[in-house]
Amino acid sequence: MSKKDRPLIGISTSSKSGLIPLFFHRFAVWRAGGRSVRLGPDRPLDADALDGVIVGGGSDLAPALYGNEVAIVEGIDPERDAFELALLEHFKGGKRPVLGICRGAQMLNVFFGGNLHSEISEAYPGSRARRTPLPVKRIDIDKGSRLHGMLGVSWCQVNSIHHQSVDRLGEGLKASARDRRGMVQGIESENGALLVGVQWHPEFLIFNRPQQRLYRALIRAAFDARA
């Protein structure tokens, strides 16, 4: 496949600390048959030039975006929040695929009017933020969901690098995966479009076959969107 035939995937990351995840995303996209370009407030691109988009992980979303009164002033990136909300506006129709990763899944939920648990330790007593790129957490995936079809498994082990999670689902979204405590680990569009968010970081699980299938499904959908 020539370079120009590969679907172009935009990858939105932090301009301050997203270079390592970006490298892994770009490798996964290339291996799946696509090509990629970094996006962000400092690197805007005409969204019409993209065949699909990955909204990557990073800093917390500003609580004001989802009606939370917690006064968090550190670790947020309002410029990135605004950029990604505008980016998703271009993709909300569902004709081109969207994959949200960790923060990106939370952003998808907030974009469609949902909200978040600001601290999972408070929302799920006894749980703790297990910040590791290693696959230490089991999740169960709803059979028949889009995510189930993408991964090809009904459960898998994933990593965990977050302290926030989806609370009330946004309009038109449904939960497609949860962990053993019932915490939402996957969301997707109810209308069958490839608009999927996962709470884990598949880019770091480069030798895991289900996670490779996730990227291949994204690239296939991006290629089909050209038709």
Amino acid at 87: L
State the catalytic residue, choosing from 84, 102, 148, 162: 102
Helix (H) or strand (E) holding 90, with range, is helix 78-91
Query: 87 exposed, middle or buried (CB, 10 Å; 0-12, 13-18, 19+)?
Result: buried
The CATH architecture assigned to 3-225 reads: 3-Layer(aba) Sandwich (3.40)
Give catalytic status of residue 156 as yes or no: no
Overall pTM > 0.85: yes
pLDDT at 1: 64
pLDDT at 167: 97
Give catalytic status of residue 201 as yes or no: yes
State the catalytic residue, choosing from 117, 148, 162, 201: 201
State the catalytic residue, choosing from 84, 148, 156, 203: 203
Q: What string of pLDDT tens digits covers the 227 residues of the chain?
A: 667 789 999 999 887 777 899 999 999 999 999 999 999 998 888 999 999 999 999 989 998 899 876 655 567 899 999 999 999 999 999 999 999 999 999 999 999 999 999 888 888 887 766 788 999 999 999 999 999 999 999 999 999 998 899 999 999 999 999 999 999 999 999 998 899 999 999 999 999 999 999 999 999 999 999 87
Per residue in 53-66, pLDDT (tens digit) is: 999 999 899 988 99
Give catalytic status of residue 171 as yes or no: no
Q: Where are the domains of the chain?
A: 3-225
pLDDT at 76: 87
pLDDT at 73: 55
CA dihedral for 169, 39, 206, 209, sign (positive or negative): positive
- Residues contacting 148, CB < 8 A, separation 6+: 141, 142, 154, 176
pLDDT at 67: 85
Is there a contact between 86 and 39 (Cβ–Cβ < 8 Å)? no
